[in-house]
Amino acid sequence: MSRKGNRGKNIPKKEEKPLRIAAIMTVPRLGFNDHFIAAYSALSKLNIHLEYKMGVFWGQSLENGIQKYLDTYELDWILTLDYDSIFDVNDIVNLVKLARKSDADAIFPVQSMRGVDYDVLRLPNGKELVETDIGHFGLTLLKVSALEKLPHPWFFGVPNDEGKWEEGKIDDDIHFWHKFRKEGFKVCMANNINIGHMEILIKWPGKVYQPVSDYYKAGKPPEERMNQGLAEISYGLDDGA
């Protein structure tokens, strides 16, 4: 539909103002090269700066790094990364699209937990965005205007009622989400965006793959499981060879 006085003329569409986004992650001294390749490939295509923070205290490093961004630059969103996440440029683009059209203050994709067979969160109800109580930081957009209002400390571990770091404790990341929600900010999962979670696997004979975390908990897989796998492998050799 054309405006009055401009019948037949092409009226240029008003371009959306680019969102100002910067990325941050904490890293150990050694990490997954595949993650860094994926991160560089995706972020460089979108001209998103990535800041690395090192330190043994994950929460402190992440909070200090984000605060430095807030004190130094004018940004709309902070994108957090975990050093064992795998994603591509389309995942970031789709997160940004959701950020533009929603009122969410934090948006994160679906990501499976390491060492278990189920996802961190999954609410398959057909919606693009589903409001949740907690999230993760694997590839997560945090709205700067919300972070600027969020009282410190953001990340704070709390032991259980017995003072132990066992069942009932609250880890740094969960404390953040509880506080974020308590302050009235909206946390949403992007139901249709899936990213990977890297994990070191041990390959046993018979094509048996075992997460390292499972090996330390339960030891080697049963011999019969490996033998069964070996029996099913065809080497392309005749019995009479």
User: DSSP per residue over 2-25, as a string?
Assistant: PPTT-TTPPPPPPPPPPP-EEEEE
Residue-wise pLDDT for 77-100, tens only, equals 999 999 999 999 999 999 999 999
141: β partners: 79, 107
Q: Which domain holds residue 214?
A: 201-232
Q: Note if the bond before 153 is cis, omega within 30 degrees.
A: yes
Residue-wise pLDDT for 26-51, tens only, equals 988 888 889 999 999 999 999 999 99
Mean residue pLDDT across the chain: 87
In the chain, the percentage of residues whose pLDDT exceeds 90 is 61
CA atoms of 102 and 105, how far apart (whole Å) = 9
Q: What is the pTM of this model?
A: 0.83
96 or 125: which leads in pLDDT: 96
Comparing 21-25, 59-63, 113-117, 203-207, the range with the smallest average pLDDT is 113-117
Do 162 and 106 lie in one domain? The reply is yes
**Structural domain count of the chain:** 2
Residue-wise pLDDT for 54-66, tens only, equals 888 999 999 999 9
Do 192 and 217 lie in one domain? The reply is no
Do 33 and 93 lie in one domain? The reply is yes
- In this predicted structure, what is the pLDDT of residue 74? 95
Task: Report whether pLDDT(121) > 90.
Answer: no
Q: Is residue 237 part of a domain?
A: no
Residue-wise pLDDT for 160-188, tens only, equals 999 999 999 999 999 999 999 999 999 99
Do 173 and 211 lie in one domain? The reply is no
Do 67 and 135 lie in one domain? The reply is yes
Question: In this structure, what token pair is assigned to residue 154?
Answer: 């953001």
Do 111 and 217 lie in one domain? The reply is no
